[in-house]
Amino acid sequence: MHTILIQKRILLAFLLGLLGLTLLVLGWQGAPGQMKRQDDGAPVSANNMPAARGTAAGTVPGPPRQVQDVSRDGAAFFVEYRLDRERTRGQQLELLREIINNPQAAAETRRTAQERLLAISQSMAREVEVENLIRAKGFKDAAVCLDDRGATVVVQAARISPEEATRIAELVSRGTGVAEQDVVIIPRP
């Protein structure tokens, strides 16, 4: 009886971790079929870049003080995103290690946990690599989130030109194996 409770707790914790990750990804990407939108309401993806709105240069004028505040908020966003991602992944990895190290867990369950552990580790490495490559291309910062459906890239920039979006999508595709059309790019000032 005691053994069954431990296995149920581990299974419940594992399922809650997966649910948490799923909710995080859905919250980050929006509901299925929903396009991400820029602050001005224009959808953004590698194949669907926004048209310039506002002034002739495609920007909305504002006091320089607001731009500086937004820039600080943007940097804080990327730091907070990475902390949340690491915390969530750390919880998942800990739970998977518990399952793998539990001698009472079924062999199939441990094998599945090992595969998931490896997949998460590889995904983490690819995300960091692609983020560094995007920064090397001249962007201030970037955050990449890989999942089974594709990749979401948040780039610290007020706007992204179609050429930049294509370059980012190609870079993400080469670094992760995700098809270019499955890369969603979101500019964030």
* pLDDT value, residue 87: 94
Q: What share of the chain is helix, strand, coil (3-state, %, to 5)?
A: 60, 10, 30
- Per residue in 65-76, pLDDT tens? 333 344 456 678
pLDDT at 5 over 50: no
Q: What is the CATH number of domain 2-51+61-188?
A: 1.10.287.4300
| Reported pTM | 0.59
Contacting residues for 18 by C-beta, under 8 A, at least 6 apart:
92
| Dihedral (CA of 25, 46, 141, 158) sign | negative
Report pLDDT for 11. Answer: 54
